[in-house]
Structure 1
Amino acid sequence: MASRRLSKGWLLAAAGTVAVLGVVAYVLRPPERLTAKSGSFLRDGTAGFVLTDIAYALGPDGQDTPACPQGMSMDVSQIFAASPAGKRRSGEDDESYGKRLEEGGKTLSAAPDGSNYCLHPELAPIDTHARLLTNASARADGIDLDGKVSRSPADARSGRLDFVGVDGRRGVDNQFWRAVGCNRSYQSAGQSNGFKVEMLTGSWGVLVKLDGVDDLRNDDDVRVGIHANADPLQLSPTREALEYATYAVDPDARFRASTRGRIRDGVLTTEPVDVRFHHVVNGMYMERPLRDARIEAKLSPEGVLKGYLAGYTPVVELYDYQFGFRNGRDAKGQPTLARAVASANGAARVLGHTCAGIWQSLHRMADGHPDSKTGAFSSISTQYRFEARPAFVVDPPLREKMVRND
C-alpha cells in the first residue's frame, strides 16, 4: 500500500514538474508573430523592416596618412591661431589666449558687412585651409552608382576619382567622403559619423517594405518601399530597437518612395528612386533627400537587412541639413534662423571646419545631376550604411482602421 502511495506521489510530482516546465517553455517561447507561420519573417509575400542603425559609409581614417598629405581641415580659431595676429603673446595665460582665439575666429566668420558665412557661404572667399581626400589610393565603403569606373587621368585632375572599395570592388561612388575625409570630425572616432541619436529618441525613422516576395534567396521581381516613419522607434529598457513592432508610413507622399528590386543569393538590390527622410538637429526639423537612391543589402534568414543605401544628395540641401541648418523649422513649423546661425558656427568650431570651406568642398566634389545650361554638377554621391530589423509596416488608413477595431 505504501509502495502504491509512493508511486502515485511520484507520478503526481512528475506531472507537476512537466506542467511547470510546459509553462516555462510557453513563457520563453517567442510569440507566434515573431516567427510567422513557417518560421520566417515573411508573411504572404510581404516583409517589413525598420532601420535600427544608420550612419555615413565612409572609409579608413585619412588623418596622419598619405590620404591627407596636407593635414586636416582647420576651423576659424585654428586659422586665426596660425596667423601673425594669432600667435601667443608673452605671458598670456591659457584662458586669455583661448578667448582671443575665439574672438579672432569670429572675425573670419563673417563678411565686412556682417553677413555670417554659415548663413551665406557663397559670399566667403576661398578657404585655403579646407582639405580634400583626393589621394588616388584612398579606400571607401559603398557601391557603384553609375556603372562606371572613373579612374582616368582626367578624373584624377578633377579630384573626382571613383574609389576602390574597402572590400576590393571598383567604381565606388562616394564623393562626399572625398569632401569630408580630411576633416577630423569624420574620422572613425569623430562626432559626425552617425546621426541616429534623434532617431532613437523618436524624432524620425525609416521603414523598408518588400512585397511580392516568392523566394527570400532568389527573386527577380520584388516591390520595394522606402519610407519615412510616422511613429517613434520602439525601444527595450536597454534602448535596443524592438523587433516586430508596428509602424505606420508617413502620410506625406514626399516621404514615400516605391521602386522595384531583386534578390540574388540573399542580396537585395533595388532600382534607383528619389527618397526623402526627416532629420532633426538641436530642435531644428529638416529633411534629408537622396536622389536616384538604391539599396544593396544582405538579407539574413533571421530577417536582418544590412548593407548600403546610396544615391546623390543635392549639394545645397546637404549643406543645409548637415552644416548650415538654414532651412530648419521648429516644432511649430517656424523658421529657426537665429538658432541655425549659432548652431552652425558652434558646430564648425567644435568639429574642425569652416562653413565656407565645407560649402566649397561639396561643390568641388559634386558628381551628379549636371545643370542643363552650365554643366555644373548639382549633387554629390553619398553612401549610408544601415541595419534594419523585422517590423510590421502599415499605411495610415490601415493603422487607423486597426485602432478603431480594437
Structure 2
Amino acid sequence: MSTQDTYPIDVERIREDFPILDRKVGGDVSTAGEGSEDTEPLVYLDNGATSQTPKQVVDSIVDYYYGYNANVHRGIHQLSQEASVAYEEAHDRVAEFINANGREEIVFTKNTTEAMNLVAYAWGLAELGPGDSVVTTQMEHHASLVTWQQICKRTGAEIRFIEVDEEGRLDMDHAAELIDDSTEMVSLVHVSNTLGTVNPVAEITEMAHEVGAYSFVDGAQAVPTRPVDVEAIDADFYAFSGHKMLGPTGIGVLYGKEEILESMQPYLYGGDMIRKVTYEESTWEDLPWKFEAGTPSIAQAIALHAAIDYLEEIGMENVQAHEEMLAEYAYDRLTEYDDVTIYGPPGDDRGGLVAFNVDGVHAHDLSSILNDYAVAIRAGDHCTQPLHDTLGTAASARASFYIYNTREEIDKLVDAVDSARELFA
C-alpha cells in the first residue's frame, strides 16, 4: 500500500525533495557522528519554528546567484532588469497566494516580527494616544505581545488581553467586552504556536470593524499550513514568514489594505523607497516600495516564490488535511499516558502541532532525551511566556508537523517519550 492510500499527500515522494531528512543524528553528541552506530535517521518535528527546504527552492536561489545576481530597481543593464522582474513577480505570486488585490498590498520584510513592528511604528505611533486601546490575546507570540505592549507604553494607549478558556480557545464573550469604542487595533494570532488553537479571525475582525478599529492577524503558523484568503478574513493587516513554509530565512510578508498603507508614513528611510530627494524634502515611492528601504532580500523573495509554487502543486487543502491528521494522531497517542498533559483544544480541532509536558520531566530534559533518539522537537516557552504563566508551567515540549512527516515518526516520538518517562520514574 502506498502513502497515497493512507495519507492525503504522497509523503514518500515529497521526502525525496528534502535531502536533510536522510541525515542520521542523535546518540551521544560528544562521540556520535555521521555513520556512527549511535545515530538514527532524523525525525524532524520542529516545523513550527522553521520548516525544511526542498531542493526546488534551494535551486531557485542558486539559479539567481549563478545566473542573474544583481541589485533591483537600480540598473539599466540586463542582469538588473532580470532580477527586478523576478523580485516584482515574487510580490505578485504572494498576492495571488493569499488573495490580495495586487503587489501594492504586499510588503516584504525580514519576518513576521518585522512586519508587526512596521505597522506598530508606522501606524501605531502616529495614531494611538491616551484613551485609546489595543486589544490582543493571552496566547500571542512575543512578536505581537511585546511590540504592542511597548507601543502602548510610548503612546499612553491601553493594552487589553482576551482571555483563553480551559480548552485553550479565546473567550469570545470577553472579546466582546474588551473591543469597544476606545479600540483602535485588534491584533491576534491566527493559529497559536503553543496551543494549536485556530482562532476565528474573520469573526474577530468583524468585531473590530464594528467599532471602527483595524485588525492585524499574525499568520506565521497559518499561511504555511492551510488556505488563507485575506479578502475573506477582511483583516486590515496580515503577516507571515517564509522560513516556516519551505522558504529561506530572511523573508517575511506584510499584507496591508492598499488605502491604509497609502495613508501611513514609511518605517525605514533610504534607497529605493524614495521618488525625489532635495536637501530640504523627500517624497516616497509607490507601494509597496515605499516600505522596502535599501537593498531587499532578493534571493529570498525569489525563493519564496518557488516555495509557494511547491506548496500549491501539492494543494493547500491537502497540506492542511495532512498536518491536521498528524496532529490528531499525535494527540491520541500521547493521551494514552495519564502523566502527559497536552495543552490546547482536542486533537481533531487544532493546527498541526502538539505542546505537552510529562509529569516530573522538565521540557528541556525531555527534548534532550528525544534528541538522543534523533527526534527534534522544541522545548521552552515558545515565545509565549505570559501564556505559559497562565497555563501554570514554565515550559512545554512541542512537536509540530509538516508535509514530509509520517505517523511512523510520531510513533518514534511517543516511544522516546515513553523512554523518558521510565528514566525519570
TM-score (norm 1): 0.25
Q: Greater share of strand residues, 1 or 2? A: 1
Q: Greater share of helix residues, 1 or 2? A: 2
TM-score (norm 2): 0.24
